[in-house]
């Protein structure tokens, strides 16, 4: 009652004192009652902005620029043999610090154009880039694309490389503060000295040497643009790694040069002089990686990348203890076998056909798929392709056991896959005889009847990679596919292990400091072939081994060799026991030429296109001194005493 007697103005003032915020709005109806006034909107905005400013100031004040991390004092990676003894220690981080004054302007311009065009004018951070980096992190992608040069320098120098929200948060504020305490030249110098360029090279000086064999001061603008392209990811842009990499590298190299013109860092006339891509030299390795060591390390590193994502960039930081499956005595014995056999039979200085001959070999333990030995080439520091782990070499008749296995699997499956579905196939004994005599026609007929897909699927189930399979056509069952020696040894290990397959592996455990990395449990085994199928294949390949004389070396061996009637440009021999499955291949490959060279004339007239050498290498490796001489059917016999083999 008393309230109603007050004047309207005083009543309103009293109401205002009681309601600091007039919301919902008095004296309004409908939608207008719920629309905040401009005063309320402005006040809310100022309150939020002020709160954020205070929070920003508090965080900025509390986060200091930390001491530089120990990335420049990295440990070596140590690799161990299967028995625990040390195999090799790869050196510490390859880095040589150089002042900005010794880094050409063209290098500086290329890097700024490629990574952060606003580097000289920004505050060291990019809010939009930071938001994009967070989105990429949520998607599991690389976050570097959202960082300025200053932020990348902070990550390289002051923080861990782990991609977390906390690290990105700190990176933002440290970069902001660092840009006020250091000049742009100091930041750019630090960035160029700490960035990863691949090939174990940290910093522009090491990168210039790794890719062009020159110091950074001697890089020309074209080379500088190519190296700047690597900052986006050397595994994708090192042009020597693959054709796809080369295509990406050329495209980004051209874009970086064009970008410099757009930014006024290079004149159009100068840009016009750089039309030829500056091909870098092939990667070379330190002497500690010579012989077979480099190949062993390469296979181990490849396995770690595939299995737990530990890539070359992470490994280059060092500090890992890597325990492998490689057995030192077997690796050495395989090397000696290759060198003794080829050294005795090949004469590249006398016969042109003996030039460019390459050998690859691998030995796998059937029980679990462990790679115990391999031969990748003469020297990993001179011949960079691992012949034991490469594809592109047709496997020939050594593929036929998979076709035979596919046939028996279909017979035993019942239902629609019964023998009556394959009326055009010769009887089993004919197929087995065809395998022993290296005849092609029955296997071509088999493929047509049971289907090339079934043959392919059986080969893949035993351990071959689908990516190495040839097109599904008439000759497919006779061996047009190109698996690696490692995969061939592993697939035949499935026969040796009674139809149970295990993927090949080369690393048993990895330690970083005192911590063991997760994800390196032994690959699981799985049954892929029925026992009856394996029994037939094993018995047939034992018959083959008897015709080649391999049983005189190892009594319980089963084996096969490619025949001289094969029109492929390779020779193979695969032999296995319960304890060991070993594949050996020989081919001719001239550097820079994509196609394999013919084997005609290799080793002289008596070598049957080089086919005698893979079984001889296998025999020497298995501890025997037997020589084999292939007959015209593609198989052979043990050399009789006093009968000389092919000579060089």
Tell me the per-residue pLDDT of 364-413, one tens digit each, with 9 for 90 and over. 999 999 999 999 999 998 888 999 999 889 999 999 999 999 999 988 87
| Mean pLDDT of the region 177-199 | 89
Phi, psi dihedral angles at 185 (to 5 degrees): -65, -40
Higher pLDDT pick, 386 / 423: 386
Q: What is the pLDDT of residue 227?
A: 97
Beta partners for residue 560, in sequence order: 574
* Residue that the structure tokens 């084999």 belong to: 628
Percentage of residues in the chain having pLDDT higher than 90: 51
| pLDDT tens for each residue of 200-212 | 888 998 899 889 9
Q: Residue 268: exposed, middle, or buried by beta-carbon count in 10 A (0-12, 13-18, 19+)?
A: exposed
Q: Exposed/middle/buried for 437, CB within 10 Å: 0-12, 13-18, 19+?
A: middle
Q: Give φ, ψ of 499 to 5 degrees.
A: 90, 5
Instruction: Tell me which of 8 and 551 has the higher pLDDT.
Output: 551
The mean pLDDT of 345-369, rounded to a whole number, is: 95
Give the C-alpha separation, 631 to 634, whole Å.
Answer: 6
288 and 89 Cβ atoms separated by less than 8 Å: yes
CB of 270 closer than 8 Å to CB of 221: yes
Spatial distance between the Cα atoms of 369 and 229, rounded to a whole number of angstroms: 39
Structural domain boundaries in the chain: 3-62, 92-272
Q: What is the pLDDT of residue 626?
A: 47
pLDDT at 248: 95
First to last CA, the chain: 125
Residue 619: closest CA among 587, 578, 577 = 577
More confident residue, 269 or 449: 269
Spatial separation of the C-alpha atoms in residues 584 and 485, rounded to whole Å: 6
- Report which DSSP code applies to 509: E
pLDDT grade for 67, boundaries at 50, 70 and 90: low
Indicate whether this model's pTM tops 0.75: no
CA dist 359 and 357 (Å) reads 7
Confidence of residue 108 (pLDDT cuts 50, 70, 90): very high
Structure tokens at 456: 């392919």
Query: Which residue is listed with tokens 């004389």?
Result: 549
Which pLDDT band, with edges at 50, 70 and 90, does 647 fall under?
very low
pLDDT for 55: 56
| Residue 597 confidence (pLDDT) above 50 | yes
Higher pLDDT, 165 or 494: 494
More confident residue, 198 or 44: 198
Q: Which residues contact 544 (CB under 8 A, 6 or more apart)?
A: 435, 436, 558, 559, 560, 561, 635
- Residue 206: its pLDDT value, please? 86
> Would you say residue 34 has pLDDT above 80?
no
pLDDT above 80 (res 472): yes
Least confident of 141-150, 190-199, 208-217: 141-150
| 3-state SS class at 86 | strand
Laid out side by side, the sheet with 86-90 consists of 86-90, 77-80, 320-324, 507-512, 515-516
The pLDDT score that the predictor gives to residue 15 is 53
Structural tokens at position 500: 């149970």
Q: What is the dihedral of CA 614, 616, 617, 619, to 10 degrees?
A: 120
Higher pLDDT, 424 or 503: 503
pLDDT of residue 140: 53
Neighbours of 324 (CB within 10 A): 24
CB 199 within 8 A of CB 211: yes
For residue 558, give the 3-state DSSP assignment.
strand
pLDDT score of 521 more than 90: yes
As a whole number, mean pLDDT of residues 101-126 equals 92
* Alpha helices in 98-231, H assignment, sequence order: 105-115, 127-139, 149-157, 165-181, 184-194, 204-212, 221-229
Please tell me the predicted confidence (pLDDT) of residue 642.
30
Higher pLDDT, 147 or 480: 480
How far apart (Å, rounded) are the C-alpha atoms in residues 463 and 468?
Answer: 11
Average pLDDT over residues 541-568: 77
Q: How far apart are CA 625 and CA 554, in angstroms?
A: 11
Would you place residue 583 in the very low, low, confident or very high pLDDT band (cuts 50, 70, 90)? very high
More confident residue, 51 or 454: 454
**Eight-class DSSP state of 318:** -
Class of CATH domain 92-272 = mainly alpha
Average pLDDT over the chain reads 83
User: Residue 146: what pLDDT?
Assistant: 60
Per-residue pLDDT for 633 more than 80? no
């Amino acid at each position: 009652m008393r309230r109603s007697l007050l004047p309207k103005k005083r009543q309103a003032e009293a109401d205002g004192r009681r309601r600091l915020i007039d919301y919902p709005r008095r004296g309004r109806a409908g939608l207008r009652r719920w629309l905040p006034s401009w005063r309320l909107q402005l006040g809310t905005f100022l309150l939020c902005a002020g709160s954020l400013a205070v929070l920003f100031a508090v965080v900025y004040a509390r986060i200091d620029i930390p001491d530089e991390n120990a990335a420049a004092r990295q440990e070596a990676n140590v690799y161990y043999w299967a028995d625990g003894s040390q195999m090799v220690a790869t050196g510490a981080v390859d880095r040589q610090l150089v002042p900005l004054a010794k880094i050409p302007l063209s290098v500086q311009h290329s890097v700024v154009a490629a990574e952060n065009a606003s580097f000289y004018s920004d505050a060291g951070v990019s809010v939009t880039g930071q938001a994009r980096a967070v989105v990429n992190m949520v998607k599991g992608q690389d976050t570097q694309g959202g960082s300025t040069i200053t932020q990348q320098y902070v990550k390289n120098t002051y923080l861990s490389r782990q991609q977390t929200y906390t690290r990105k948060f700190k990176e933002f504020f440290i970069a902001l503060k660092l840009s006020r305490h250091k000049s742009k030249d100091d930041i750019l110098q630090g960035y160029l000295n700490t960035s990863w360029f691949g090939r174990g090279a940290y910093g522009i000086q090491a990168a210039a040497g790794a890719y062009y064999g020159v110091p950074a001061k001697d890089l020309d603008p074209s080379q500088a643009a190519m190296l700047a392209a690597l900052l986006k990811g050397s595994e994708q842009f090192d042009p020597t790694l693959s054709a796809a990499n080369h295509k990406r590298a050329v495209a980004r190299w051209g874009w970086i040069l064009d970008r410099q013109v757009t930014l006024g860092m290079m004149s159009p006339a100068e840009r016009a002089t750089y039309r030829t891509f500056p091909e870098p030299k092939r990667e070379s390795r330190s002497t500690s990686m010579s012989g077979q060591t480099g190949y062993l390390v390469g296979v181990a590193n490849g396995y770690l990348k595939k299995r737990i994502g530990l890539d070359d960039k992470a490994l280059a930081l060092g500090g890992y203890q890597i325990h492998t499956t490689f057995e030192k005595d077997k690796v050495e014995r395989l090397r000696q076998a290759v060198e003794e056999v080829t050294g005795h039979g090949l004469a590249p200085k006398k016969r042109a056909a003996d030039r460019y001959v390459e050998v690859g070999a691998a030995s796998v333990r059937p029980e679990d798929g462990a790679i115990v030995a391999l031969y990748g080439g003469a020297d990993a520091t001179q011949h960079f392709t691992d012949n034991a782990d490469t594809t592109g070499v047709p496997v020939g008749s050594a593929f036929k056991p998979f076709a035979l296995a596919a046939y028996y699997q279909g017979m035993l499956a019942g239902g629609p896959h019964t023998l009556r579905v394959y009326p055009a196939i010769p009887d089993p004994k004919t197929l087995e005889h065809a395998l022993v005599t290296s005849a092609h026609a029955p296997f071509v007929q088999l493929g047509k009847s049971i289907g090339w897909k079934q043959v392919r699927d059986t080969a893949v189930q035993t351990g071959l990679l689908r990516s190495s399979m040839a097109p599904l056509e008439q000759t497919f069952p006779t061996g047009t596919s190109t698996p690696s020696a490692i995969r061939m040894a592993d697939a035949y290990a499935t026969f040796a292990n009674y139809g149970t397959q295990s993927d090949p592996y080369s690393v048993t455990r990895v330690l970083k400091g005192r911590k063991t990395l997760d994800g390196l449990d032994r690959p699981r085994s799985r049954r892929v072939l029925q026992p009856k199928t394996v029994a037939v294949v094993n018995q047939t390949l034992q018959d083959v081994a008897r015709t080649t004389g391999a049983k005189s070396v190892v009594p319980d061996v089963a084996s096969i060799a490619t025949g001289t009637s094969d029109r492929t440009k390779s020779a193979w021999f695969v032999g296995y026991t319960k304890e060991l499955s070993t594949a050996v291949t020989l081919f001719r490959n001239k550097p820079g030429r994509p196609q394999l060279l013919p084997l005609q004339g290799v080793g002289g007239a008596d070598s049957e296109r080089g086919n005698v050498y893979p079984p001889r290498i296998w025999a020497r490796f298995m501890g025997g001194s037997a020589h084999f001489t292939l007959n015209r059917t593609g198989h052979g016999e043990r050399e009789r005493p006093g009968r000389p083999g092919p000579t060089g």
